Structure 1
Amino acid sequence: MAPNDSAQTTEEAKDLAAGRRKAARYAVPVAVAGVAAATIGLVPALAASSDPDLPKISAQQLIEKMAASDAQQLSGTVKISTDLGLPSLGGLADLGGGSFGPKGGDGGEGSSADPQSKLMGLASGTHTLRIAADGPEKQKVSILEDSAEYSLIRNGDDVWGYDSASNEVFHAKEQGAGKGHESPGPKDLPTTPKDLAEEALKAAEGTTTVTVDGTSQVAGRDAYQLVIKPKQDGSTVGSIKVAVDAENGVPLKFTLVPSSGGKAVIDVGYTKVDFSKPSASTFDFAPPKGAKVTEADELEKEHAKEFDKEFGKGAKADEFKGMEEFSGLNVIGEGWTSIAAFEAPGGEALTAPKDGEVPPEAGKFLDALGDKVEGDFGSGTVFKTRLVNALMTDDGKVYVGAVTKDALIKAANDAK
């Protein structure tokens, strides 16, 4: 018998607005794909032939069960499938050069093993990952490809990235963050249902309905189905379903369906999972013979040189990092329909690039994303995905959020 489906409103995590501010840093056109990369998910696990018969549980009890889960040891296989409605990202991975596109291999500076160079590829399509964890100090994520494998490993203070296709290695010391370098690692990538479920439950109070809707089996384990829905109109999020392990409270599957309908934008699910302690050797790594090893500090120096070439020695790199250099930041609305509004650096108009200013691949990508719009605010362009949209006005204003195009235009009109 399926559990009750009585609705409850979550008051979990009141920092959604802060999350919107973080997402807003990706409002520049090409980086709309960056938001997609930041919200990657995994496809559903193999469907069970029948739903398990579990004791009834309320939504609040299930949320508390998730919060109380202390499983820190596991290994398994997940699949990533993301459909944000983006055009093909082929050809974009190498754009920008230097600090914006680690080349490695025969591409010159940079390293193909740099974790940042792998995120763009996870923003669309289907991918298979193997993951393992033994507490916060030992973690491993491997991206499996047709004839190659990329692994990102954290073992104590050491973080290793290895690209078997190019035989390149990236290495960082977590203690090196004292010099301004923040070492990336598997725990920084939202590659499990738990990562995404935690973010989904950070909904503003009073704007979310949470219910329990039946049971399922994921990777051979019994699970409850938690359904999260925005109460507000204007959000691009239709609903989120999280399959929660009935025994230990670990999210096993995550599915986000857009308000526009159709197939899921993001799906997360284990196809295999084991909560026993992984072998210690799982996290061992030594650079293979003949591999090119790039240290994180060296890579940052290369990035700095490339930045100087591109923008001149007088430019400051931190001007390009995020919201700190955008002026007039304001969060409009609340909950799922929050919109971050700000002015572009220097208040400059966000005009379309002229012929020759961007590579052809980037030009086609931007054309496919953008819709010209007009309103009381004037005119501008809406850059769209099925999840995150951004309105960039011709007079230098930016509005971005997981909301519809109409919601962005209304926000811009109301701001006049």
Structure 2
Amino acid sequence: MATNAKTRKAARYAVPVAVAGVAAATVAMVPAFANSGGPDLPKMTAQQLIEKVAASDVQQLSGSAKVSTDLGLPTLASGLLGGGGGVAGGSANPEDKLAQLANGTHTVRVAADGPDRQKLTFVDGKDEYSLIRNGADVWGYDTKANEVWHEKDTEGAAQGKDHKKTADRLGGASPQQLAQDILKAAGPTTDVSVGDTAQVAGRDAYQLVLKPKHGGSTVNSVKIAVDAKNGVPLRVQLLATEGGKPIVDAGFTKVDFAKPSADTFAFTAPKGAKVTEGAAEAGKGGAGHGKEFKGLESFPGLDALTGGAGGKGGKGDMKVLGEGWSTIARIDTGAGKGLKDIENDKNAPKEAKQFLDSLGGKVTGTFGEGRVFKTRLVNALITDDGKVYVGAVTKDALVQAADANK
């Protein structure tokens, strides 16, 4: 893989890299300054702080992070996402493990040495799951199941290609990648300011605060703690409009910016371990590939309930309503049955009825009647005529959208 500075800064891995596409012209900057709520640091504007993150080119680090997610999922959905457990499960497939970050609290050990070497280890008591990239080799190892997942991309490495899938797997759980994704998504519907200073993992930090300009979002704000010295995002907190503890709280508890030892990224499949070659399974739809968490649409029963939006038997017509934090997707599933029909149909799939039971209360409007699937972040309104309105917005915002677009 190419090692010039430009390539390194463009790679999307679990190391702090430039935040591409973030410019003052696309973000509504509020000229607020850090106050004395934490360490006494020089004053800095929001624009200066974003530029500091963008300029950070730290390529090496190691440490521990804690990721807590509280989506307020119904029992059915929570069970499907692995509950509050850590690395439970019998597969070494990275998608299976990373999906578990959608619920509960997890401890992750992190190490990075440039774009070609990263390691994430999910710890659950004595059991561990490690995801390692070392050159062209990507390994997943589940100690509890003694299973190994392996993928090798010698062609991509030889041509200097960006391994996007691997980058997503390795970077998605890190505070740095979360911060990058959030900053890239910030636009004219966002107010950006600098809040109280803080200490994270023993390091002085500024806090960048992003807030929706308009009402209706389930998100009150996003706080990104940025290392005062090197611009590395140390913690990301997603706060709910309804209050309570953060929806997502991902941050380092310990961090060291020294170069990790080379053996940190070395891996050999243990004797007797079951090894699955990811690339070999891709062509036949095996366990190594093709699985990804898709949120609401992954829940059993929703497909039966809506007639298979976007798939066989459904129209899958989608329209995007609104913008920014208040964006709502309207999906016309083309379902032949309404919710009442399914509720009263003795022959309806049991998964559909279980899903109905997991939903919140019924709602009505000029659009008709429907039910709301409610979490602390994403809500979905499923109307009686088979339309779905979904977004990180409140129940009232979904009803208003349904009334205006029936």
Q: Is 1:329 aligned to 2:308, yes or no?
A: no
Change (3 A) 1:286 1:144: same
Query: For each residue in 1:241-300, what CA deviation from the matched residue of structure 2 results, as whole angstroms up to 9, or x when unmatched?
Result: 111101111111111110111111111210111112111111111100000001114444
Q: Is 1:357 aligned to 2:349, yes or no?
A: yes
In structure 2, give the amino acid aligned to 1:278: P
Task: Write the mapping of 1:303-314 to structure 2, written as runs, cut at 5 A.
Answer: 303=285
Select the residue among 99, 102, 117 that pairs with 1:138: 117
Query: Which has the larger displacement, 225-234 or 386-395?
Result: 386-395
Residue aligning to 2:147: 168
The 2-side partners of 1:363 and 1:123 are apart by 24
Could you tell me which runs of 5 or more consecutive residues in structure 2 were left unpaired when the two chains were aligned.
1-22, 29-36, 83-87, 291-307
The 2-side partners of 1:334 and 1:281 are apart by 47
In structure 1, give the amino acid aligned to 2:317: G
In structure 1, give the amino acid aligned to 2:255: V
Select the residue among 29, 46, 59 that pairs with 1:72: 59
Query: For each residue in 1:103-160, what CA deviation from the matched residue of structure 2 results, as whole angstroms up to 9, or x when unmatched?
Result: 985xxxxxx1011211342221111000111112211111001121001111122111
Q: Secondary structure in 2 aligned to 1:289?
A: coil
Change (3 A) 1:406 1:185: same
Select the residue among 191, 213, 218 that pairs with 1:236: 218
The 2-side partners of 1:356 and 1:396 are apart by 15
Q: Is 1:394 aligned to 2:376, yes or no?
A: no
Q: Is 1:127 aligned to 2:101, yes or no?
A: no
Query: For each residue in 1:332-378, what CA deviation from the matched residue of structure 2 results, as whole angstroms up to 9, or x when unmatched?
Result: 1111101112222x55556458778346xx96566334432222112
Change (3 A) 1:376 1:321: closer
Q: CA deviation at 1:187?
A: 4.7
8 Å Cα contact 1:377/1:413 also seen in 2: yes
Q: Secondary structure in 2 aligned to 1:201?
A: helix
Residue aligning to 1:205: 187
Change (3 A) 1:356 1:236: same
Query: Which has the larger displacement, 295-304 or 66-75?
Result: 295-304
Query: For each residue in 1:29-52, what CA deviation from the matched residue of structure 2 results, as whole angstroms up to 9, or x when unmatched?
Result: xxxxxxxxxxxxxxxxxxxxx822
The 2-side partners of 1:397 and 1:175 are apart by 45
In structure 2, give the amino acid aligned to 1:281: D
Query: For each residue in 1:155-191, what CA deviation from the matched residue of structure 2 results, as whole angstroms up to 9, or x when unmatched?
Result: 122111100001000111235889xx98545655521
Residue aligning to 2:241: 259
Residue aligning to 1:384: 374
Aligned-residue Cα RMSD (Å) equals 3.2
Residue aligning to 1:226: 208
Change (3 A) 1:51 1:382: same
Q: Is 1:157 aligned to 2:136, yes or no?
A: yes
Q: Is 1:83 aligned to 2:73, yes or no?
A: no
8 Å Cα contact 1:52/1:217 also seen in 2: yes
Query: Which has the larger displacement, 364-373 or 249-258?
Result: 364-373
The 2-side partners of 1:226 and 1:52 are apart by 15
Q: Is 1:275 aligned to 2:257, yes or no?
A: yes
8 Å Cα contact 1:213/1:226 also seen in 2: yes
Q: Secondary structure in 1 aligned to 2:272?
A: coil
8 Å Cα contact 1:329/1:342 also seen in 2: yes
8 Å Cα contact 1:350/1:394 also seen in 2: yes
8 Å Cα contact 2:27/2:191 also seen in 1: no
Residue aligning to 1:55: 42
In structure 1, give the amino acid aligned to 2:401: A
Could you tell me which runs of 5 or more consecutive residues in structure 1 were left unpaired when the two chains were aligned.
1-8, 15-49, 95-102, 106-111, 308-318
The 2-side partners of 1:13 and 1:388 are apart by 23
Query: Which has the larger displacement, 197-206 or 65-74?
Result: 197-206
Change (3 A) 1:302 1:329: same
8 Å Cα contact 2:359/2:371 also seen in 1: no
8 Å Cα contact 1:54/1:215 also seen in 2: yes
Task: Write the mapping of 1:22-41 to structure 2, written as runs, cut at 5 A.
Answer: none
Q: CA deviation at 1:202?
A: 3.3
Change (3 A) 1:227 1:184: same
Q: Secondary structure in 1 aligned to 2:73?
A: coil
Q: Is 1:116 aligned to 2:95, yes or no?
A: yes
The 2-side partners of 1:218 and 1:83 are apart by 21
The 1-side partners of 2:329 and 2:376 are apart by 18
Greater length-normalized contact order (CA 8 Å, ≥ 6 residues apart): 1
Q: Secondary structure in 2 aligned to 1:202?
A: helix
TM-score by length of 1: 0.73
